[in-house]
């Protein structure tokens, strides 16, 4: 029973490099979310997808793009990584639109 | 104005005591509130939700909501060292039909 699976778990990038964080859920949830968590800042919403085919900006979308590939998968892309994007990234999913119910284990991303 | 406020702690309580975690919110129209627990280095997990004034009990956990005073609390009875974690309060944002806004979290330490 996998729940929400994120890959990779760790990544180190150089400034200006690009990468895509992958997220998949096997609970047939409609909504999926991407958050970042920085020390002392709590969880901040980057983007969310209320249903397959839709995406919306959250609190801190600048520098990121997302794709809801199908109902299971929701990816987060950094086109040109910056040191300010060093963070722990969590993907989550839920039946409804408002409260994430299940989180992935997170991706720890460092940008040098 | 920050929408959800929490004391960052750490809050230290002895084993067996009642731990009281508090959260205030700015939107009087908010109808639902959520508590998440996050162990160090792990992802958040949803532990409680409350929608109406008063108390909601689930095992050793009680969520309390006071809409007139705009605060929500989480009480943990008979605190155990395994309850040591950061507790995140979350509420719907002030505007728009968008996902929850999280507080920065309160770190709880239960001392054996």
Out of B99, B101, B104, closest to residue A48 by CB: B99
Mean pLDDT of the residues in chain A = 94
Q: What is the pLDDT of residues B72-85, one digit of tens each?
A: 999 999 999 999 99
Residue B95 confidence class, pLDDT cut points 50, 70, 90: low
CB atoms within 10 A of CB A40: 8
Out of A40, A97, A102, closest to residue B99 by CB: A97
- Six-digit token string for A33: 């979310």
Residue B1 pLDDT greater than 60, yes or no: no
Q: Which residue in chain B has the smallest CA separation from A101? A: B46
Residue B38 confidence class, pLDDT cut points 50, 70, 90: very high
Q: What is the pLDDT of residues B9-35, one digit of tens each?
A: 899 999 999 999 999 988 777 788 999
CA-nearest of B27, B12, B19, B3 to B103 is B3
- Six-digit token string for B30: 């908010």
Could you tell me if B92 and B33 are in contact, meaning their C-beta atoms sit under 8 angstroms apart? no
Residues in chain A, pLDDT under 50? none
| φ, ψ (nearest 5 deg) of residue B83 | -80, -10
Query: ∠A61-B37-A65 over CA atoms, to 5°?
Result: 15
User: Which pLDDT value is given to residue B97?
Assistant: 66
- Do the Cβ atoms of B46 and A98 come within 8 Å? no
CA distance B65 to B28: 12
Parallel/antiparallel/unpaired status of strands B54-58 and B61-66: antiparallel
Q: What is the pLDDT of residues B48-67, one digit of tens each?
A: 999 888 999 999 999 999 88
User: Which pLDDT value is given to residue B96?
Assistant: 61
User: Which pLDDT value is given to residue A15?
Assistant: 97
User: Which pLDDT value is given to residue A69?
Assistant: 87
């Amino acid at each position: 029973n996998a729940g929400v699976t994120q890959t990779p778990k760790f990544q180190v990038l150089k400034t200006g490099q690009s990468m895509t964080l992958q997220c998949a859920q096997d609970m047939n949830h409609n909504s999926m979310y991407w958050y970042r968590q920085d020390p002392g800042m709590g969880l901040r919403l980057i983007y969310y997808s209320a249903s397959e085919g839709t995406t919306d900006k959250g609190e801190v979308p600048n520098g990121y793009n997302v794709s809801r590939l199908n109902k299971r998968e929701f990816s987060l892309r950094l086109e040109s990584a910056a040191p300010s994007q060093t963070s722990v990234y969590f993907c989550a999913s839920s039946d409804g639109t408002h409260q994430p119910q299940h989180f992935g284990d997170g991706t720890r991303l460092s940008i040098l | 104005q920050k929408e959800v406020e929490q004391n960052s702690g750490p809050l230290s309580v002895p084993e067996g005591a009642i731990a009281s975690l508090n959260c205030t919110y700015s939107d009087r129209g908010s109808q639902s509130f959520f508590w998440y627990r996050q162990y160090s280095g792990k992802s958040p997990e949803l532990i409680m939700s409350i929608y109406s004034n008063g108390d909601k009990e689930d095992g050793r956990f009680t969520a309390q909501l006071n809409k007139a005073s705009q605060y929500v609390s989480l009480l943990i009875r008979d605190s155990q060292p395994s309850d040591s974690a950061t507790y995140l309060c979350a509420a719907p944002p002030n505007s728009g039909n968008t996902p929850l806004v999280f507080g920065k979290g309160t770190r709880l330490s239960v001392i054996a």
